[in-house]
Amino acid sequence: MEWRDQALKSFFKICCGMMLSTILTLASMSVSTVGIALAASPSQKPRLGKVSYDQVIDVNNIAMFVTNQGSFAFDPATGGPGLEFPRGTYGQTAVFAAGPWIAGKVNGEIRVAIAEYSFEYAPGPILPDGTPADPQLDRYRVYKISKGDGMENPDYAQWPVEDGAPVNPDGTPMVLGDQTLWAVYNDADPGIHFNMQTAPLGIEIQQTTFGFNRTGPLGNVVFVKFLIINKGGNTIDSTYVSLWSDPDLGQSDNDLVGCDVETNFGFCYNGSNTDSQYGSSPPAVGYDFFKGPIGDDGVELPMTSFNKYINGRDPQTAEETYNYMKGLDPDGGVADHTDPITGQVKAFMVDGDPVTGAGWLDENPADRRLMLTAGPFTFALGDTQEVVVGIIMGQGQDRLTSITAARVNDAFAQSAFDADFVVFPPPPPPSPPTPPPPPPVGIKDWDIPSGERWYTWANTDWGAEGFGGAMTGDVAHQWFGPTSVPPSRLVNVELRFTSVIEDEGEDQYKPLDLTNPNVSWGYRYLRGAGAPPPAPADQTTTKSPYDWSHYIINTSGPGVYVYQERNPIALSVWDVENNRRLEVGWLENNRPGGLVNGAYGPAWAGEFSNLAASGPREWLFIFDRDYTEPNDDSNLAELSQGLINDNPAPPIMYIIFAARRFADRFPQDGDSFLILANRVNDINPGDFNGDDTINFSDFLLFVVAFGTGSGDAGFDAQMDLNGDGMIDFSDFLIFVDHYGSGTSGSKAALPLPYPYR
């Protein structure tokens, strides 16, 4: 069998780069071609299926072929690589092939179904009588629909609901993400099991491939959902499901692989910063089990093994395949699975961290294969298993920072998947400018589950005054600049609102129900605390006076925006990644219409900018500190220092600038929304080249800029570690103090710029 894999792949790679460019260019054409004939045993004649050769998911930065034979990221028409990144680069490819491998035992006999360069799956479902459907029928093609499609798209009009294609509650085709491709295939024909020569498992797979039209992390991810059904008439014991891939990251012979066990993440990266396709900045490609199969104990299985091998060591028998999936060598031994550093036998090969250089790392770059596997589980007749995997790309400045970028994208994608993709929609296309230009408009208002909207970022000027927070809004000051909570440490947070008591026809806050668990005691700050109130104390419920002198408690103190007191606020904020409640605060403005009433509430719509000097400045702050009750002063010393001062910046994670709509209600119990963090790869002090290790490669860069000052040619503020405007030995001493420390293990260094889920 070895000759088959090598010969096929050698043939497939001839001229595949130019052919992929042509096929991707023509991908919008709906053409199905009769499949190519592949070798079968003399006693079994394969049934040639009507293979979809030309369908490509191309909604974001990734363009990837999808077939109705199990294989994806492979171009069966040309035998060439099938995943282009970035989309539209015509010739830069990151994956040669990928597909699902499934193996188990039927009455003690190992049976296998695989998809690689040749396939043991055929288009169509398994019929009620247990026989495979006719794979020649056009109805078993790959269907492709996008948001906004209607009956003019034949795939939308002919959406195969009866075969299992997903639909909305009203029966219309369901688009997952912004683009969805769907196909059904099975392994029930004995004549197509020519790879490992086993009897069929009798499984049907309904595959949904989808992606999001986004910039940022989700723009670099393709999701693949497998609904696997046992229709073979037998219970399959000790079943394993693998995501197999031949990455070929650009140049095929210089790949290395690795895995992050805790995050179910396998990845491929270049062995050097020299690649015939990608040059000095090769990307990394990752693979993830976003959802694994359910084990016999009813608990979802994670990745249970990670295996790698090179071209020429492909499994030749069902037993070798099964051993690979179990996390063993092909002969069932453990020699290749023994950590050379610790001597420990591991199911997860090369589980170290190439970015920090720690642990068991892959060596000797070559043409790699990799397998992420989950199992074992018992697959009874009629049972279904849903497995969701992802292909994740990461692009950094070099081969190692690309791993970090892929990890960041993977963590975000997993968070979005766990939240059922409750993420903000992409921004609308820009409108043609019209004179005079309109005032700036904020990010976007969001929908409360009931359909009513009561908050918006409308009428926001984005002029925040240099807070040390990760999200202050002013590009000239704090967008991903020096912050107390750097972007790499942002977490996904959820705001949970409480009901505000109101009388019909009134538009002001009334007392909160302090027994409500989502009422928070927030830290209140005041702008202009030292000035007298601009209007007499008027405790009416009209909004224009709303300036109550008795809410000015501290007229001076640390910080420009002086801390006043802790007051109840109608929401709680939760770090949903770590299940912890966070401290909150808000700012009031001692100006006419400033709403100095001791309660947080968005600005009045259309009357005041929430950032202009005359505006309410009802800014909400989310702090990176565990929440405390009002009788707990453990955070008071830090958070009572006020805002904007010479002391260390308060631990601001997010600032929300909000306005109010006239006709909308106050919040109610059950209202909530998520803020999803878009983590970026910031560079740690002293790590000038961003490889997460401080060593002589950084030192050489330092020497190049030594002696330059702010404004000089060659001055690099990143190397000015002490911020004195000059690159000199005072920075060098700091460098020496950090030398040799990987950023994940050194007390002097910052944490890695991605949190593991």
Residue 431 lies in a domain: no
Instruction: Mark out the alpha helices in 333-490 (DSSP H runs).
Output: 399-418
Q: 383 Cβ partners below 8 Å, 6+ apart?
A: 229, 230
Distance CA 500, CA 569 (A): 10
Higher model confidence: residue 499 or residue 459? 499
Closest CA to 725 of 736, 734, 715, 735: 715
DSSP state of 487: G
Q: For the segment 622-640, what is each residue's pLDDT rounded down to a tens digit?
A: 999 999 998 888 999 889 9
Strand partners, 239: 377
DSSP letter string, 86-115? STT-SS-EEESEEEEEEEEEETTEEEEE-B
| Whether the predicted pLDDT of 2 surpasses 50 | no
Are residue 443 and residue 405 in the same domain, yes or no?
A: no
Q: Grade residue 514 by pLDDT with cuts at 50, 70 and 90.
A: confident
Strand partners, 255: 270, 366
Are residue 486 and residue 385 in the same domain, yes or no?
A: no
| Whether the predicted pLDDT of 728 surpasses 80 | no
Mean local confidence (pLDDT), 337-351: 97
pLDDT at 40: 28
pLDDT at 686: 60
Which amino acid type is present at position 187? Answer: D
Mean local confidence (pLDDT), 486-499: 81
Using DSSP's 3-state secondary structure scheme, residue 669 falls into coil
Q: Maximum distance among all alpha carbons in the chain?
A: 99
Distance CA 462, CA 63 (A): 36
> Could you give the C-alpha distances from 625 to 392, 615, 634, 635, 731, in angstroms and in order?
32, 28, 10, 8, 31
Residue 382 lies in a domain: yes
**Where do we find the tokens 């043609």?**
432
What is the separation of C-alpha 356 from the centre of its chain, rounded to a whole number of angstroms?
A: 22
Q: Of 418, 451, 474, at which residue does a domain stop?
A: 418
Are residue 474 and residue 403 in the same domain, yes or no?
A: no
pLDDT at 44: 36
DSSP strand pairing (520-527 vs 580-589): parallel
Residue 428 lies in a domain: no
Are residue 307 and residue 414 in the same domain, yes or no?
A: yes
Mean local confidence (pLDDT), 498-508: 55
Q: Grade residue 350 by pLDDT with cuts at 50, 70 and 90.
A: very high
Closest CA to 470 of 304, 647, 624: 624
Are residue 499 and residue 581 in the same domain, yes or no?
A: yes
Lowest-confidence pick of 294-298, 345-349, 582-586, 711-715: 711-715
Are residue 371 and residue 452 in the same domain, yes or no?
A: no
Average pLDDT, the chain: 78
Q: Grade residue 596 by pLDDT with cuts at 50, 70 and 90.
A: confident
Lowest-confidence pick of 348-352, 404-408, 622-626, 745-749: 745-749
Residue 117 lies in a domain: yes
DSSP letter string, 642-657? -BSSSSPPP-EEEEE-
Higher model confidence: residue 473 or residue 182? 182
Q: Grade residue 437 by pLDDT with cuts at 50, 70 and 90.
A: very low
- In 92-202 the beta strands, taken as DSSP E runs, fall at 93-95, 97-106, 109-113, 122-123, 143-146, 179-186
pLDDT at 98: 97
| Whether the predicted pLDDT of 163 surpasses 90 | yes
Are residue 137 and residue 102 in the same domain, yes or no?
A: yes
Tally Cβ neighbours within 10 Å of residue 315.
Answer: 25
Contact indicator for 657, 610 with CB cutoff of 8 Å = yes
Closest CA to 101 of 248, 210, 228, 259: 228
pLDDT at 26: 29
> How buried is residue 421: exposed, middle or buried, by Cβ count under 10 Å (0-12/13-18/19+)?
middle
pLDDT at 741: 52
Q: For the segment 259-275, what is each residue's pLDDT rounded down to a tens digit?
A: 999 999 999 999 999 99
| Whether the predicted pLDDT of 35 surpasses 90 | no
Phi, psi of 179, rounded to the nearest 5 degrees:
-150, 135
Residue 226 lies in a domain: yes
pLDDT at 693: 64
Residue 423 lies in a domain: no
Handedness of CA 570, 576, 582, 586 (dihedral sign): negative
Residue 353 lies in a domain: yes
Question: b vs e for 703-742, b when ≥16 Cβ sit within 10 Å of the residue's Cβ?
Answer: eebeebeeeeeebeeebbbeeeebbeeebbeebeebbebb
pLDDT at 52: 74
Number of folded domains that form the chain: 3
Q: For the segment 6-18, what is each residue's pLDDT rounded down to a tens digit?
A: 334 443 443 333 3
* Residue 23 host element (H or E): helix 16-25
Q: Could you tell me the residue range of the domain that residue 732 belongs to? A: 683-757
Are residue 506 and residue 358 in the same domain, yes or no?
A: no
Q: Of 658, 675, 692, at which residue does a domain stop?
A: 675
Are residue 59 and residue 184 in the same domain, yes or no?
A: yes
pLDDT at 660: 63
DSSP state of 719: G
DSSP state of 167: B
Are residue 666 and residue 714 in the same domain, yes or no?
A: no
Highest mean pLDDT: which of 211-220, 354-363, 594-603?
Answer: 354-363
Are residue 664 and residue 712 in the same domain, yes or no?
A: no
Contact indicator for 650, 623 with CB cutoff of 8 Å = yes
Q: Of 675, 704, 723, at which residue does a domain stop?
A: 675
Residue 430 lies in a domain: no
Are residue 633 and residue 718 in the same domain, yes or no?
A: no
